Amino acid sequence: MTIFTSPFPDIAQPDISITDRVFQGLRPRPDEVVLTDGPTGRTLTAAQFMDQVERLAGGLTARGLGAGQTIALMGPNCPEYCVVFHAVAFAGGTITTINPTYTAAEVRHQLQDSRATFLVTVPACLEIACDGITGTDVTGLALIGAADGDTPDLASLMGDPLTRQVPVDLDAHTVVLPYSSGTTGLPKGVMLSHRNLVVNVDQIITGAGFAKGEVAAAFLPFFHIYGMTVLMNVHLAGGGALVTMPRFDLEMFLRISQDHRSVRMWIVPPVALALAKHPLVDNFDLSALQQIFSGAAPLGAELSNAVGRRLNCVSLQGYGMTELSPVSHLSPIDNAKAGASGLAAPNVQCRIVDIETGTDLGAGAEGELWIKGPNVMQGYLNNSAATTATIVDGGWLRTGDIARIDPDGQMHIVDRLKELIKYKGFQVAPAELEAALTAMDGITDAAVIGLPDPEAGELPMAFVVRTADGPDADAIKAHLATTLAHYKQLHRIEVVDTIPKSASGKILRRLLRDQLKAV
Ligand code: AYL
């Protein structure tokens, strides 16, 4: 076995819950504003935040919604999102985070799969939420914002403060359940423990050199692991603050970053493109900025250099997966290489494994990246087959990404072995789209791949086999628009006679990609 170890010394893994870890970062500064709602300017100080978490945790517990329960949270970023998240964690429950742009069918699927019994959402999502809970175990709803008819607001759920974390096994209890398709198949619940979240917060604080007082414009959604760990938990635990944004808006992002003198921007590659090219950028004073930090999808060397030059700052990159809580690699500040994903975070070990032979490879060779460390998930919910296929050899997680380690120990992602499509950093699972297509009358087979795109990274496209009276491309698009969220929509549909498959029935996606290149 050839193991690449992190150049950082190991960090401690304290026996503490994620909420207690966040409170550790808040207690020394009770009067500091730590959360501001970008659009309205509404604020929460550290003391107010902790008070609301404790009172909501008490109220949830009194209603039987604490320990042993899974609470779904569906909404855009706002200060109260963080209150609900930590109240459920503090009360010993599990949070499953739902994309607020989901359709009712997508919401229902996640609620059923996660066995959620309560849903917290916002007024703008209420109609879809009410439709989505039919046929699930959800017995109650609450709203961030004003109450609506029978649906109570958060204030009415608050109770006597819970002053202590409800005891849970820090390694075995699932505190959060985001969804990811992993290397193949449909989206699955990723079981992350308190240990996973706490360790990754400290791995990032150390690896990225996070400093007290950092304020970020938080547009990366808290429902996705990037926003959840890197923005919400690192900033609150690490002595920083957040100005929340319900969605990405370049002008608001630039204004907040300017007004709060942000030293670092946490972004994804499409935002790097906007920062490198958009004329609006010149209207703002970003002189406090020291670095941009991109993650969740590949940031090419050229774009990385362009954005660094324009903003006169260092351009860094991180690599990770939902299954890694999420960050395993980060660019070093003093030796960032454009296009590279950087060094293994503290406590992270890596292997590069030959995809044909399964043997370990040395520095310089390309193979599948395997990761071991305390940030590796517990497994996939209700899916031991996917868990044992993904975590092998006593704790090594197969990432499904092809990488190379250079002589300085920096990791370069060179290709993706798994099925996953990344649209603007969001996961699109080909298997989910293929199932939606073949469920339509008149479509007998389908294959979905990512079409390279300079702005989105990849665009979902489909090859379909249809009967003589089957639906045409417009009819297919119109149908999917009603059942799947915006970012999963198909940008191109090709009607073909057959889908190329291996002897065992696996779709030969590489062949489809090569066919497209040849056109
Ligand atoms: P998920 N370069 C290339 N591909 C990447 C990179 C990167 N820097 N980061 C993530 N990916 C791809 O679960 C890769 O295929 O990520 C990986 O397996 O939605 C997949 O995205 C994981 O998709 C960071 C760095 C957060 C990464 C993240 C992970 C986001 C969650 C913060 O600084």
If one residue of 99, 229, 319 were mutated to test the ligand 1 pocket, choosing by the most ligand atoms within 8 A of its CB, it would be: 319
**Quick one: which H or E segment has residue 74?**
strand 70-74
Which residue puts its alpha carbon closest to atom 3 of ligand 1?
298
Q: Which residues pair with 443 in a beta bridge?
A: 466
Average confidence (pLDDT) over 461-484: 97
35-70 burial, b at 16+ Cβ within 10 Å, e below that, comes to: bbbbeeeeebbbebbbbbbbbbbbbbbeeebbeebb
Average confidence (pLDDT) over 195-203: 98
The amino acid that residue 266 corresponds to is: W
pLDDT at residue number 473: 96
The number of residues in the chain equals: 519
| Chain-centre distance for alpha carbon 451 | 21
pLDDT at residue number 515: 85
**Quick one: which H or E segment has residue 191?**
strand 188-193
pLDDT at residue number 517: 80
pLDDT beyond 90 at 198: yes
Q: Decide if 176 contacts 228 (C-beta within 8 A).
A: yes
State the pLDDT confidence band at 441, using cuts at 50, 70 and 90: very high
Is residue 341 in contact with ligand 1, taking CB distance under 6 Å?
yes
State the pLDDT confidence band at 516, using cuts at 50, 70 and 90: confident
Share of the chain above pLDDT 70, in %: 100
DSSP secondary structure of 147-189: -BTTB-BSGGG--SPP-SPPP--TTTSEEE--EE-TTSSS-EE
Cα(439) to centroid(ligand 1), Å: 30
Long-range CB contacts for residues 36-39, cutoff 8 Å, separation at least 24:
36/79, 36/241, 36/242, 36/243, 36/244, 37/78, 37/79, 37/243, 37/244, 38/217, 38/243, 38/244, 38/245, 38/246, 38/252, 38/256, 39/245, 39/246, 39/252
Compute φ and ψ for 394, nearest 5 degrees.
75, 45
| Residue 197 three-state SS | helix
State the pLDDT confidence band at 194, using cuts at 50, 70 and 90: very high
Average confidence (pLDDT) over 460-488: 97
Q: What is the tens place of the pLDDT at every residue in 367-401?
A: 999 999 999 999 999 999 999 999 999 999 999 99
Which residue puts its alpha carbon closest to atom 8 of ligand 1?
319
Find out whether the peptide bond into 326 is cis, omega within 30 degrees of 0.
Answer: yes
Average pLDDT value for the chain: 97
pLDDT beyond 90 at 519: no
Q: How much is the CA Rg of the chain, to the nearest whole Å?
A: 22
DSSP secondary structure of 383-441: -HHHHHHHEETTTEEEEEEEEEE-TTS-EEEEEE-SS-EEETTEEE-HHHHHHHHHTST
The amino acid that residue 237 corresponds to is: A
Whether the CA torsion 276, 282, 284, 290 is positive or negative: it is positive
Is residue 181 in contact with ligand 1, taking CB distance under 6 Å?
no
Q: Give CA–CA dist 266/264, Å, rounded.
A: 7
DSSP 8-state class, residue 381: T
Q: Give CA–CA dist 184/400, Å, rounded.
A: 9
pLDDT at residue number 500: 96
pLDDT at residue number 87: 98
For the full predicted model, state whether its pTM sits above 0.95. yes
pLDDT at residue number 518: 75
Q: Give CA–CA dist 171/166, Å, rounded.
A: 15
Average confidence (pLDDT) over 198-208: 98
Is residue 375 in contact with ligand 1, taking CB distance under 6 Å?
no
Q: What is the tens place of the pLDDT at every residue in 403-418?
A: 999 999 999 999 999 9
Is residue 422 in contact with ligand 1, taking CB distance under 6 Å?
yes
If one residue of 264, 321, 371 were mutated to test the ligand 1 pocket, choosing by the most ligand atoms within 8 A of its CB, it would be: 321
Which residue puts its alpha carbon closest to atom 18 of ligand 1?
321
Q: What is the tens place of the pLDDT at every residue in 345-357?
A: 999 999 999 999 9
Strands 70-74 and 411-416 turn out to be: unpaired
Q: Give CA–CA dist 7/343, Å, rounded.
A: 7
Cα(168) to centroid(ligand 1), Å: 29
Neighbours of 478 (CB within 10 A): 10
Map 204-249 to HEC letters: HHHHCCCCCCCEEEECCCCCCHHHHHHHHHHHHHCCCEEEECCCCC
If one residue of 390, 413, 423, 488 were mutated to test the ligand 1 pocket, choosing by the most ligand atoms within 8 A of its CB, it would be: 413
Q: What is the tens place of the pLDDT at every residue in 34-92?
A: 999 999 999 999 999 999 999 999 999 999 999 999 999 999 999 999 999 999 999 99
As a whole number of angstroms, the longest Cα–Cα distance in the chain is 69
Is residue 180 in contact with ligand 1, taking CB distance under 6 Å?
yes
Q: What is the tens place of the pLDDT at every residue in 216-230?
A: 999 999 999 999 999
| Chain-centre distance for alpha carbon 114 | 17
Is residue 179 in contact with ligand 1, taking CB distance under 6 Å?
no
* ipTM surpasses 0.90: yes
Which residue puts its alpha carbon closest to atom 2 of ligand 1?
298
Which residue puts its alpha carbon closest to atom 26 of ligand 1?
226
Is residue 419 in contact with ligand 1, taking CB distance under 6 Å?
no
Is residue 317 in contact with ligand 1, taking CB distance under 6 Å?
yes
Q: Give CA–CA dist 304/315, Å, rounded.
A: 6
